[in-house]
């Protein structure tokens, strides 16, 4: 009898947890739908403001497509570095430099909502811990899929890796072209922007920093 009561109690607890999770998923889904609908209306307003007819064949679904595209391009707001890295950090007796270079990145300038794109070079000095190499590219992806300025993006990548891995040092260099300079404004087609952030040993030891810069250039 006692075992039956315990089993029934456990079943009730499980049901409550499942119902709670279901309610949360349903709420998140509803919130996402409302946000998408609001963005769709906003894009329709913008197109109308340009003098376009949003009811013509070519534009009928453009506001919805644009809203979905913007959600994808800014999906990094829904992700965290901790969630990405925590299950991919391994104890390893390795202290030499690890570099992943030429990581493609695409982001949106927060000033004009036009793209900037280029490559990121990421390095760290392990402190008895290493991370799956693809995860470094995922960190770049998380922070680039937000409205950004390149300076902040570089810093966020470096600090996220430093916080989760606690390495002896982190270095990040980003080289990017900004459409706000190419398509509008000064319209300089070949201009590129380079930003860097160095932490720990990369900042304190110029030989270490020079080795990193040499390796990403070759």
Say which of 52, 79, 94, 112 is annotated catalytic: 112
Q: Which SS3 state, helix, strand or coil, does residue 177 take?
A: strand
Say which of 40, 148, 178, 208 is annotated catalytic: 178
Conformation bin of residue 107: beta by default, left when phi > 0, alpha when psi is -120 to 50: beta
Check the CA dihedral 137-139-145-148 and report its sign.
negative
Say which of 78, 95, 111, 151 is annotated catalytic: 111
208 catalytic residue (yes or no) = no
Dist. CA 85–CA 95, nearest whole Å: 19
Say which of 8, 92, 110, 163 is annotated catalytic: 110
CB 46 within 8 A of CB 70: no
Dist. CA 62–CA 83, nearest whole Å: 34
Length of the chain: 218
Q: Which SS3 state, helix, strand or coil, does residue 170 take?
A: strand
22 catalytic residue (yes or no) = no
Check the CA dihedral 37-41-43-47 and report its sign.
positive
111 catalytic residue (yes or no) = yes
110 catalytic residue (yes or no) = yes
The DSSP bridge pattern shows strands 147-148 and 98-109 to be parallel
109 catalytic residue (yes or no) = yes
Dist. CA 193–CA 153, nearest whole Å: 13
Say which of 150, 156, 201, 208 is annotated catalytic: 150
Dist. CA 143–CA 105, nearest whole Å: 10
Say which of 52, 71, 180, 211 is annotated catalytic: 180
150 catalytic residue (yes or no) = yes
Active site residues: 109-112, 150, 178, 180
């Amino acid at each position: 009898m006692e075992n039956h009561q315990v089993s029934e109690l456990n079943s009730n607890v499980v049901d409550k947890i499942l119902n709670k999770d279901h309610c949360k998923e349903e709420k998140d889904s509803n919130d996402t739908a409302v946000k998408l609908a609001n963005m769709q209306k906003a894009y329709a307003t913008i197109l109308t403001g340009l003098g376009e007819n949003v009811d013509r064949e070519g534009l009928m679904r453009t506001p919805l497509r644009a809203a979905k595209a913007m959600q994808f391009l800014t999906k990094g707001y829904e992700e965290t570095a901790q969630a990405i890295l925590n299950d991919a950090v391994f104890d390893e007796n390795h202290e030499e430099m690890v570099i992943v270079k030429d990581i493609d990145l695409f982001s949106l300038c927060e000033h004009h909502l036009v793209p900037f794109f280029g490559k990121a070079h990421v390095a760290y000095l392990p402190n008895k811990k290493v991370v799956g190499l693809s995860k470094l590219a995922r960190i770049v992806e998380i922070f680039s899929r937000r409205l950004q300025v390149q300076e902040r993006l570089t810093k966020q990548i470096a600090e996220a890796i430093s916080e989760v891995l606690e390495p002896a040092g982190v270095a990040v260099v980003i080289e990017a072209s900004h459409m706000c300079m190419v398509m509008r404004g000064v319209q300089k087609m070949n201009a590129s922007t380079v930003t860097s952030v160095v932490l720990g040993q990369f900042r304190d030891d110029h030989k270490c920093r020079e080795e990193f810069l040499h390796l990403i250039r070759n």
